[in-house]
Amino acid sequence: MNIQTHTNPAPDLQRDSLAANTSQAITGQAMTGRAILNHCLGDAAIHWPEAQGQLMMGGGEPLSDWLKAHATPAYLYNLEVISAQVHAVRAILPSAIRLHYAIKANPHPAIIAHLANSVDGFDCASLQEMQHVAKLVPALLCHTSMAGPAKSLAELEFSLENNVLINVESLGELERIQSLCQQTHPRARVALRINPPFELKGSGMKMGGGARPFGIDSEQIPAIIHLIQTDNTFREVIDLEGFHLYIGSQNRDAAAISAGLAASLNLIEQLCSDTGYTPRHLNLGGGFGVVYHPKDTPLDLTALQPALGEIATRAQSLWPNIRLNLELGRYLVASAGMYLARIVERKISRGKTYLLCDGGMHHHLALSGNLGQVLRRNWPIIGIDQLNRPHTDTVDMAGPLCTPLDVLGQGQPVPPLAPGDVIGVLQSGAYGLTASPNGFLSHPACEEYFFKRGLSHAP
């Protein structure tokens, strides 16, 4: 099966309809599912084809036909979308900046294996994420970093044994690494994660600035560099390769990301000039955001190009042997995933219409608004067989859990939907199943399916 063969309109036609659909979003006219998909996914929407309003699998089979033999709720991932996203990012990255995948966004082995030949390395946040890399892409272990506070002994030992770069988050962690190395290992590859005195404006989640559990406050960095350079017990075992900065996530403002990257480089330049240290490695984070709400403006990748070019040129002129990385998670994988749930019942409670669904918060915490959001906003939801119908109904959508937190939509515009119909929650490829309380209320495990020129069950 090849989903791209029969069902995609020619790219130009698709682009025209994309423009028309985006204008629907702007004028406030009820959007169709196709318009929502096109607006939220941008160029990647072309990889989710349709025929007569039905979302299609490969070979011209409607997804709803395929679902007759497969249970909902389920996650469906289109690996072609991930390739398209990597390609789009590569197109604006100067060749000097390497692209790493932050596995936390979606650690499924099928995704890591798919990315093996198209990214330059991986960023891990746990032992198991590193073990996935070791099993699936061992050649990239030396281009893998391990970040996160409160690293366990097992995580540190695995990093040391497998030549993984450790992004050190505190002086205490550096001391633990030093003592481990003295007992068992010759040398540790280390980057100091800096907590800068600024944050990334407009980020959905801020990870830098102020007091943080992540990173070492920038004002403490000179003393730590001095310690590594002058104290023999550190100098003998710690190989300080450079720095890591991660100041925020889910940002769609190219100017803010550009300013954040430039400020990060300025800070590193200042720290290096104060200490006389020459880094060989800089990981400047990323935080590229995606469209989760049909009326939001997408990140303009091309607007990032000048800042990225300047960063590469400046860093290379300061430190000619520098290795530069960005680590992206959601931007590469979010639009590849769709969470599928079936409507069990349409219920009216005191005048309010609810669609009660078989899937919910236990599989998709972010959709329910409980993964760090201050105010919950509706996600892009489509009826998989109603892509060409305007979303003229307004409903609340709830899942099967006995908690008011189990929300799929509130005042959510949908096409006319009835029990038995299947909805698809777009942008569900990142921070979905593994970022959710799967065990809550002991519902059955959720299946994950992958397709790339054909469909397969999760390995």
Query: Footprint of ligand PLP on this chain (CB under 6 A)?
Result: 102, 104-105, 123, 147, 207, 246, 249-250, 286-287, 327-331, 430
Q: Based on CB atoms, which residue is closest to ligand PLP, 286 or 369? A: 286
Q: Based on CB atoms, which residue is closest to ligand PLP, 279 or 399? A: 279
Helices (H), 137-247: 153-161, 171-183, 221-230, 232-235
Q: How far apart are CB 288 and ligand PLP at their closest, in Å?
A: 6
Q: How far apart are CB 176 and ligand PLP at their closest, in Å?
A: 19
Q: Based on CB atoms, which residue is closest to ligand PLP, 9 or 209? A: 209
Strand partners for 348? 353
Question: Which of 283, 158, 177 has the alpha carbon at shortest distance from 224?
Answer: 177
> Which residue is closest to ligand PLP by CB?
329
Please report how the helices 171-183 and 221-230 are oriented relative to each other, as an axis angle in degrees rounded to 10.
20
Q: Based on CB atoms, which residue is closest to ligand PLP, 331 or 379? A: 331
Q: Based on CB atoms, which residue is closest to ligand PLP, 237 or 333? A: 333
CB 321 within 8 A of CB 271: no
Q: How far apart are CB 286 and ligand PLP at their closest, in Å?
A: 5
Q: Based on CB atoms, which residue is closest to ligand PLP, 15 or 206? A: 206
Q: Based on CB atoms, which residue is closest to ligand PLP, 308 or 343? A: 308
Q: Based on CB atoms, which residue is closest to ligand PLP, 66 or 214? A: 214
Q: Based on CB atoms, which residue is closest to ligand PLP, 204 or 369? A: 204
* Rg of the chain (C-alpha set): 23
Q: How far apart are CB 61 and ligand PLP at their closest, in Å?
A: 32
Task: Tell me the two tokens of residue 246.
Answer: 């991660």
Q: Taking the mean position of all CA atoms in its chain, how far away is CA 68?
A: 30
Number of other residues whose CB lies within 10 A of the CB of residue 306: 12
Query: 3-state class of 345 per DSSP?
Result: strand
Distance CA 107, CA 129 (A): 7
Number of other residues whose CB lies within 10 A of the CB of residue 457: 10
CB 257 within 8 A of CB 251: yes
Q: How far apart are CB 453 and ligand PLP at their closest, in Å?
A: 26
Q: Based on CB atoms, which residue is closest to ligand PLP, 63 or 290? A: 290
Q: How far apart are CB 381 and ligand PLP at their closest, in Å?
A: 21
Q: How far apart are CB 323 and ligand PLP at their closest, in Å?
A: 17
Distance CA 237, CA 174 (A): 11
**Residue 149 backbone dihedrals phi, psi, to 5 degrees:** -75, 165
143-150, long-range: CB < 8 A, 24+ apart = 143/98, 143/100, 145/100, 145/121, 145/191, 145/244, 145/283, 145/327, 147/123, 147/193, 147/244, 147/246, 148/214, 149/173, 149/213, 149/214, 150/213
Q: How far apart are CB 357 and ligand PLP at their closest, in Å?
A: 26
Number of other residues whose CB lies within 10 A of the CB of residue 45: 25
Q: How far apart are CB 301 and ligand PLP at their closest, in Å?
A: 14
Q: DSSP letter for 316, please.
A: H
Helices (H), 184-253: 221-230, 232-235
Number of other residues whose CB lies within 10 A of the CB of residue 101: 29
Q: Based on CB atoms, which residue is closest to ligand PLP, 244 or 362? A: 244
Q: How far apart are CB 224 and ligand PLP at their closest, in Å?
A: 19
Distance CA 40, CA 23 (A): 13
Q: How far apart are CB 446 and ligand PLP at their closest, in Å?
A: 20
